[in-house]
Structure 1
Amino acid sequence: MSHEQHANPRQNVTFDAPGTETGHAHGYLRTPASGRGPGVVVIQEWWGLTDHVVAVVDRFAAEGFVALAPDLYGGRTTHDSAEAARFLAELPPERAARDLAGAVTYLLDRPETTSAAVGAVGFCMGGAFVLTLAAQQGERVGAAVPWYGVPGPGTDYSGLRAAVLGHYGQEDTSVPLEAVRATAQRIREQAEVEVTMHEYPAPHAFYNDERPSYRRESAELAWERTTTFLRGRLAAASASA
């Protein structure tokens, strides 16, 4: 089905995504009140480009970032886990990679973006995509922040140049901490970058304030750590450009 048939009212920009069926992708963009700032790609959970993802983009803009959330499902959203699993299964990883690469290029090309590299922040499914995107994009991603998601154990991180700051729940039954720690070690060995994986007394999706899994104290601490990390890393990317 076409993007038009799945039109999501949250979409407000269209950008090039070479290699996709249409050659373009859609997303939700917000710029800060100052008009300029470092660029951040926000990658959705498996529910789609929902009100929660839009709110996260808005929060980044309020913190001074130029933030973009690509719509990886072409307008579809759901609150049903079985349907979300189907949407994810129907999303070819290579198409997601092209959409996300297009989002990086789009942000870096915008005059409002002050950083020479972007930050990548993602949740659940998007958390795993953050690390694969950073590995694919090299110097163009200067900071990677996965929340409760990791790629498969065989992922190649040798191209990754971004420092990594992760957020994971100790009560998360879907993403074992053993997998998180193994991922961190694999990144260190293959990419030799700084990797910090924080663990919180919280379940999966503890930042999503629209769900019962939300844990305010952990969410606020992780958010503060994230914005501080992004400011520092993306400012450094600007200074060294």
Structure 2
Amino acid sequence: MSEWLTTDVSGNSMQCFATGEHGQNGVIIAMHAPGIDESMQELAGWTADAGLQSITPDLYHRQPDDGSTGLEKMANLQDDEVLTDLRSARMLLEARGAQQIAVIGFCMGGRIAYLQAASDHSMKCAVVFYGGNIMKPWGDNPTPFSRTSEIGCPILGLFGGEDTNPSPKDVASIDAELVKHDKVHEFHSYSDAGHAFMNSMRPSYREESGRDAWSKCVAWLNKHF
């Protein structure tokens, strides 16, 4: 089951892609840079297959539909606005019966999931799929990395060993920062994979690693719900 929902965010209409049946456990999915495309809808469907409802908010809703690429739109995002959008997504899940909510994200969404874990302590856990730019600010806001001490839930990180953003060095730095602040976390890297290895619509897709990463994601969610 999937449907498009519309919610109001600070006077703007935000579209959200919803999957799964109304129920106790829900997942906010932070989209990748291209937006809520076929790949993101497929991944949201996997969440429903795991017995969890999900909401994927369109984080570009404040920007005009002028043909700009996802990367161009991503450059205009502000962390404070993104967090407002995720708050609205959480409220939608709550309205659909969710009492326990987690956040997962892919690509730029992985960065957002990390930030959400530090910002909204109602999250039961977070899953970061190859989140780049965790050490960079969006707008006049602190970086997600600098907010590591504020993280309030367990974090699972799933990365490609051949990725450049985040690079293995970046992943090691994030891991060390989480250890420094005594945050519950678990990181896995796949040596055969680069960025977007979960995206079955792109040559970067690595089916075996992607399936393994997804099974780890579902197990993490079920463990912490």
Distance 1:165 1:127 in 2: 10
Identical positions, percent: 26
**Alpha carbons 1:37, 1:64 under 8 Å: kept:** no
Offset at residue 221 of structure 1 (A)? 0.3
Selected match of 1:58 from 40, 45, 48: 45
Shift >3 Å, 4+ stretches: none
**Alpha carbons 2:3, 2:19 under 8 Å: kept:** no
Does 1:103 pair with 2:89? yes
Q: Supply the AA of the counterpart residue of 1:196.
A: E
The 5 A counterparts of 1:43-54 are 43-54=30-41
Q: Deviations over 1:63-88 (max 9, x none)?
A: 10011101111298x9x9x8222111
Distance 1:85 1:11 in 2: 26
Selected match of 1:127 from 110, 123, 139: 110
Distance 1:16 1:163 in 2: 30
The 5 A counterparts of 1:4-153 are 12-17=4-9, 20=10, 22=11, 24-32=13-21, 35-74=22-61, 83-111=69-97, 113-115=98-100, 118-138=101-121, 140-150=122-132, 151-152=134-135
Partner of 1:223, secondary structure, is helix
Q: Deviations over 1:135-166 (max 9, x none)?
A: 0001x111110011141165212221111111
Count of aligned positions: 213
Structure 2 unmatched ranges of 5 or more? 137-144
Residue equivalent to 1:193:
183
Q: Supply the AA of the counterpart residue of 2:206.
A: R
Distance 2:222 2:69 in 1: 36
Offset at residue 24 of structure 1 (A)? 4.9
Selected match of 1:208 from 183, 199, 202: 199
CA RMSD of aligned residues (A): 2.4
Residue equivalent to 1:7:
none
Distance 1:28 1:51 in 2: 11
**Alpha carbons 1:16, 1:106 under 8 Å: kept:** no
Kindly indicate which of the two structures has a greater share of residues assigned to strand.
Answer: 2
Distance 2:131 2:87 in 1: 19
